[in-house]
Amino acid sequence: MAASVFSTMSHNFSGLCVDDLASCPPPLLGDYYREPDDIVRGLTIDSSALCFDSVDDLWGSSLSGHWEPLKPIFAPTPIRSRQTVQIWRFQESEEGRRVPEDPCFFHEKTTQFLPGVSPAKAGNRVLDFFEQEIPSSITKVNHKKLTIKADAFHGSLSCQLKVYIYLQELGCAVEFQRRKGDAIAFQGIYDKAAKYLSEHIASQGHLQTESAIFSEAPKPPGLGLKHLHLPCSEPLFEIEVENKDSSSALIQTVREAPYLQDEVAGSILGAAEEEELQDLAGWCEPEGVEVLLELLASDRFVCAYPAARLLARLADLPEARSHFLKQGLLKSVLPRLWVQATGMAVWLQLAHLVHTLVLGYASHMTSNEIQESAASIATALQFEPFESSARTACVGQHLREALSVLS
């Protein structure tokens, strides 16, 4: 049998020269129809490209080409330039999309039907709702499709949602969809949005909604936010509920379980809104301020807003002002202004923090502290957006008032 196998192998390799055998892999045994394969799949890098004089050359000219050079994840954040605030407003000429004629298409239950209202006007009202009524950050606006994407908070719960605005024969339909995050937060935000639209577009016609069936139905007992017990696999949150010093428990959670950053941020926002001011004094310690600054530097709205909100509340504590100034909080907070990813809600909280600290403690500052604080505020004002809305102007006004007090 061994002789038979050897003869078969000899037959398969017949006709191949030595060079062919060296340049390509042998054909499969028993495959009489396989031809020699000379295709080489791989990548060869010139050894000269691997000679770097410094770490900067890893993404420097040595790898330049028609593609963008690679950048490391630890690359320093570039210096900001004075930016222009994006104009989100819709124009009446933008009609958006019509409702699909597909018989399988149906609107979500979280849809508001607005008779006699143009899609542009409805979209602008939704933008007003996100900007003025709830803590949120508008991340994307599509003027062609008339869609809005935003991150928002309802109490201490957050979610990401998207709004579709469809053109109809007698008006438009505004459909809210949850993309990710807490479902209870989405339901609460939708209820507020429906009420807001009914109050601000009531004169245009009767507001109809497919969600009236479940919005008016009595809610089963135990579904209120005050009685809700969310499942959590981490026992640290049970410690936070039972422990009087909730700040220590949350700080410990951030250090031991950084993947729960969003959950900790929600708990921080809940504490900032619900607890008494004196109960928040534990966050004034250096370790607590460090955690808040880490959340603020994440450039994510769901983390930055709770940290900014709590810092703004702590600024009203008399004992916190001296702690914050000694820890150089103004230098750390002011560069976080005008970050487009965090949004206007975070900017307002940080401006209130700076305004309160300066007005409340300027008389106790040393000359060096006054000079450093004034220089930091002046630098932040240099990056104020060109086109200012009413809320952006409020941020700049707070900073200018603080600067005038220092000077």
Task: List the one residue out of 366, 365, 362 whose CA is nearest residue 405.
Answer: 362
Query: Does 253 share its domain with 401?
Result: yes
248 in a structural domain:
yes
Query: Does 245 share its domain with 382?
Result: yes
223 in a structural domain:
no
181 in a structural domain:
yes
Is 296 in contact with 336 (CB distance < 8 Å)? Answer: yes
Question: What is the model's pLDDT at position 306?
Answer: 96
Is 280 in contact with 245 (CB distance < 8 Å)? Answer: no
The CATH number of the domain holding residue 101 is 3.30.310.80
Query: Does 135 share its domain with 179?
Result: yes
Query: Does 102 share its domain with 241?
Result: no
The CATH number of the domain holding residue 325 is 1.25.10.10
Sign of the CA dihedral running 210, 215, 218, 220: positive
Query: Does 191 share its domain with 242?
Result: no
Alpha-carbon span 297 to 236, nearest angstrom: 24
Range of the domain at 386: 235-406
Look at the chain and report how many structural domains it folds into.
Answer: 3
Reported confidence tier of residue 96, pLDDT bands at 50, 70, 90: confident
Query: Does 138 share its domain with 279?
Result: no
Q: How much of the chain is in helix, strand and coil states, percent to nearest 5?
A: 50, 10, 35
46 in a structural domain:
no
Reported confidence tier of residue 189, pLDDT bands at 50, 70, 90: very high
Query: Does 392 share its domain with 255?
Result: yes
Question: Which of 178, 213, 248 represents a domain boundary (last residue)?
Answer: 213
Query: Does 27 share its domain with 148?
Result: no
Provide the token pair at 119.
Answer: 């899609």
Query: Does 196 share its domain with 338?
Result: no
Query: Does 284 share its domain with 402?
Result: yes
Percent pLDDT > 70 in the chain is 67
pLDDT, average across residues 86-95 = 82
Question: Which of 151, 182, 213 represents a domain boundary (last residue)?
Answer: 213
Query: Does 208 share its domain with 278?
Result: no
Query: What are the pLDDT digits (tens) for 140-184?
Result: 999 999 999 999 999 999 999 999 999 998 899 999 999 999 999
The pTM (predicted TM-score) of the whole model is 0.70
180 in a structural domain:
yes
Beta-bridge mates of residue 142: 147
310 in a structural domain:
yes
222 in a structural domain:
no
Is 153 in contact with 349 (CB distance < 8 Å)? Answer: no
Question: What is the model's pLDDT at position 62?
Answer: 46
Question: What is the model's pLDDT at position 43?
Answer: 62
Alpha-carbon span 164 to 146, nearest angstrom: 6
Alpha-carbon span 299 to 73, nearest angstrom: 15
138 in a structural domain:
yes
Query: Does 26 share its domain with 116?
Result: no
Question: Which stretch of 30-44, 86-100, 129-143, 253-267 has the lowest confidence by average pLDDT?
Answer: 30-44
**Residue 211 in this model has a pLDDT that exceeds 50:** no
Query: What are the pLDDT digits (tens) for 324-381?
Result: 877 888 889 999 998 888 989 999 999 999 999 999 888 888 898 899 999 999 999 9
